[in-house]
Amino acid sequence: MKNRWSWILRNFLEFYTLTLPVGPVLVPSKPAAIYPRKGATGFSASSTAEEATQGLDGTGLTAIVTGASSGIGTETARVLGLRGVHVVMGVRNLTAGRGVKETIVRQNPNAKIDAMELDLSSMASVRKFAADFKSSGLPLNILM
């Protein structure tokens, strides 16, 4: 019972106030308050990448992760690296990409991470990235 109350307090009683033309409206501050239930996969909207990949061994796999210089892409690269996947980050800003790589490797020295230039708005850049990746001889198991 105590656990249930603490769950309710944690997920439903954290709100922020939006002031709309109709007056102040309370909005839940956590997605878990809106989508608290786990789906058929056993995960919910508040599940983390680490939770979703718990127990998986990605050794021997290679993933290309686009948009890895920030946000969801960075977290995806970090967690795939944590699971032993060789991650090739496709980034349009190589300086930012190398910074992300350094941060990930500092946290996990075993992580295999590479940063390669890729601007998805340029077909020439996409072709060059594909050619460079092909010449690396790495397999492509995961494309994100």
Ligand X SMILES: NC(=O)c1ccc[n+]([C@@H]2O[C@H](COP(=O)([O-])OP(=O)(O)OC[C@H]3O[C@@H](n4cnc5c(N)ncnc54)[C@H](OP(=O)(O)O)[C@@H]3O)[C@@H](O)[C@H]2O)c1
Residue among 114 and 119 whose Cβ is closer to ligand X: 119
Residue 30 in the binding site for ligand X (CB under 6 A): no
Cβ 98 to ligand X shortest distance, Å: 12
Q: What tokens does 142 get?
A: 């995961």
Gyration radius (Cα) of the chain, Å: 20
Q: Which is nearer to ligand X, 96 or 116 (CB)?
A: 96
Angle at 68 between CA 104 and CA 38, to 5 degrees: 90
Q: Is 94 in the site for ligand X (CB under 6 A)?
A: no
* CB nearer ligand X, residue 13 or residue 38: 38
Phi and psi torsions of 25, nearest 5° = -125, 135
Q: Total number of residues binding ligand X (CB under 6 A)?
A: 14
- Furthest CA-CA distance within the chain: 60
The minimum distance between CB 59 and ligand X, in angstroms, equals: 26
Q: How far is CA 49 from the centre of its chain?
A: 7
Which residues of the chain form contacts with ligand X (CB under 6 A)? Answer: 66-67, 69-73, 92-93, 96, 118-121
